[in-house]
Each structure stands twice: as C-alpha cells, then as structure tokens.
Structure 1
Amino acid sequence: MSEADPVPPTLLPPVPSLSTELLAAAQAAPGFMPDDEGRALYEAARAVAVPGPLLEVGSWMGKSALYLAAAARETGRQVVTVDHHRGSEEHQPGWEYHDPSLVDPAVGRIDTLPHFRRTVAEAGVEDVVVAVVTRSETLAPLWGTPLALLFLDGSHTEESARRDQDAWVAKLAVGGTLAIHDVFPDPAEGGQAPYGVYRRVLESGDFAELPGTGSLRLLRRER
C-alpha cells in the first residue's frame, strides 16, 4: 500500500457512538441506580413506539437522566426531570443517606441542583434534558403533553409514592412505558412504597408487564 492509498475502513480505529459515551457517563455519575438497571431503562426508553417526551420524577444528581438522555439522543426526544432537589426523607439530617456536603449553608437545606446541572453539562446533554425544579404534584396539574415514558423514582414514603402515582400515571400515552424503580416484593430487601405503586398499577388492568431488571419494573399502558 502506498502513502497515497486510503486506509481500509476495517483498519480505522473504532469511534464510540454518542450513546456509548453517554452510557459510560451515566455509569460513572453519582447516584443509586445499578448500571444493569440503568441500561434497562435506556433500552426501554429507546424502544417506546409512541410519540412524546420522557419524564422522570426524582433526579438526585442526574444519573438516571443520562440513561434517558442516551435514548432521547437516538430517538429525537426530550427528557424532562422533575425534582425539588431538597432530597428525600432518607437524605435529611439524622437519616441513613444524609451527606452534609450537600447542605447549602446559606439556607441550611440539602441542594442537589448544582450537582445535577454539573452532571448534565459535563455529559453534553443540556439541550436534551429539561430540568423542572419543583415538587412533582405542583407541576402535574400544569402538564398536558402525553408522555412516551414515565419513570417514577421520587421519595419512597407511602404518601409521596401514592402522590406521584396519582399525579402522573394518567398522563402516560396509551402504548407508553411506565418504569418504577426500587420495587422490592420482599420487605427485607427495601421499602414497600414503590412495590405498592407497581401492584396498584398492574391490578388496574390498564397495563401489561414488560421484562424488568433488578428492582426496575416496566409496564406498558394498554388502554
């Protein structure tokens, strides 16, 4: 081969796809979602056939938003995240997952929004991810666009989990996918509030269950 000859395509170094880079960024981002569950969420969002945005309730520092953003990049969708960024009950002082470094000294409260913004910015998906900073039940009455995918991963108390279910599940388009995180049928493995949401939705008769991964449950709205 002469110097003028082009390098055969098979000898060129592989160029990682944007989705590959985003999935790697999601895996490395701070948060509580195992990578196998995150990738299952990505695949579910990528496979949804109906139009509409992807919306997650509960964002923490943006880990799951990157899994959704990877799917949104491929399918031409937007990701909307809804979180007040003050942390759930378990993140407050005296609780198991409290991190003093996340407290804003000016107001004396948890504030994960700067960390979320950094995660999204460093991954280069600020044009895909739309962050709404409020409680989910505050936004829900203002929301009118049918959702292609709804990911419920907010506070896991019984009251707040029911509130998120009541506020958002009806906004999912027929044919859309409902994803619920931290579903543990065995109380010894985790809290029961997300499992209660999963059971109530399934028992409504409006949803069919899809294959899940770990604590991530997936259901498709049938009617």
Structure 2
Amino acid sequence: MSNPQVKHPIHDRNARGHTKIGWLDSYHTFSFGGFQDPDRMGFRSLRVINDDRVIPGAGFATHGHRDMEILTYVLEGELAHKDSLGNGSVIRPGDVQVMSAGTGIQHSEFNASKDDPVHFLQIWMLPDTQNLTPRYEQLNFGLEAKQGKLKLVASKDGRDGSVTIHQDINLYVSVLSSGDRVVFEMPSDRFAWVQVARGIVTLNGESLCEGDGVQIGSTEVLELTTEANAEILIFDLA
C-alpha cells in the first residue's frame, strides 16, 4: 500500500540555486558552481541535477571533466555534443546520453538550433571506480516505451537495453498524461530520488511541481499520478 503522505525531504524547486547569464538559464538541485549549500551536496552517489535552458546557437565551450558519470536528458530542442574521443552527435528528446569522464575528457555542448531554445537535464553521478577509461554512449527511448509506464534507461549492467553507468544506480523515466498511474516498489535496503522534469504530479498524496525533487530514504511503494501532463525521473540508488 502507498503511504498517504510523503514523509521525506522535498527539495523545493524555489530553493534551488540559479545561474542566469545572457545565453544560459540554469537551476541547480544540488550545490554547483556559485551555489553552495551544505544541505544540498547530493544524495547517495547522485551529485548534480542541473535544469538547463540555452538560447539558440549558444552553449558550453570545450571544457574538461574527470571521474564522473555525466548523463544528459533532453526535454525540448536539440543539443549538439562533441568530445575529445571523437564523438559528435545531436541529442534530442527521447535520447539518453552518458559520458564516463574517467581519467579525463574534454567536450562541448551547444544548442544545435539557430531558432529554438534547448531544455535539458544534466545529471552527474559519482562512479564506483576512479580512473576509468573515458567512454560515451547514446540511446533513444521512444515515447511509447515511457508513456504511462516506467522505463529503465540507465543501469550498471546496461540491462534491458539501457545505457551503462559505472555506479549501482537504476534510472527510470516516465511520461504521464491525465489519468496515468505508475508504481515503483523500492527494493529493500535501497534509496530513491524522484525528480519532476516537467508538469505536476502527485506522489503518495503529495503534490509536486516541475523542478521539485524528493529524497526517499526507506523502503516503500511509490505511486505517481497526474491530472495533466508530466515527465518524471526515478533514481534507484544503493
């Protein structure tokens, strides 16, 4: 049975860090850059969730990362990626891209459109092993696979056609329309993070809006519904 109310910390969307410059409008669920909050240093191996909007033709010039699993999830628009491994791609809604920075990687990310903005989540996860060989992977998960149900898109073992990440995390996504209901039964001795990417949802009786995150620290059944349209991510964490 579902709990009647969420009894776990809700990371309110209005308490996120915010970076707004000419070409970038970014909200930070956890401490990032100039936003530092000792109570928002991540959750388990989940370290960064940035909600980014980039104007047409602009983006992040070439910069470096190491020892981090970086996952990009596009909500609207198109994001062009290039890296020092020789990869060049465009990430679109439905795509999940993961980059294992490992011993070091350089990459750039730009809005691929000259006319339309791009809206995406960038998620950083601490790897279970340091100094890995850098790698890149990108897969598409169509709407049918996510509509009204939970779809595994990232996992440690790459099972069920998901992208592989070097950490004991299972990432599920779902797109919900009015009347849809999804249920996630947390495994024992696991933790969860629920992120509302778009829209409004009800989680075990509690209303959540776009940008809200919920930290779940005990085993329970999570029930999510919506009366409108929504998109959610559920991180199942060791």
- Fold match (TM-score > 0.5): no
Bigger fraction of residues in strand: 2
Q: Which has the larger radius of gyration?
A: 1
Give the structure with the higher percent helix.
1
TM-score (norm 1): 0.32
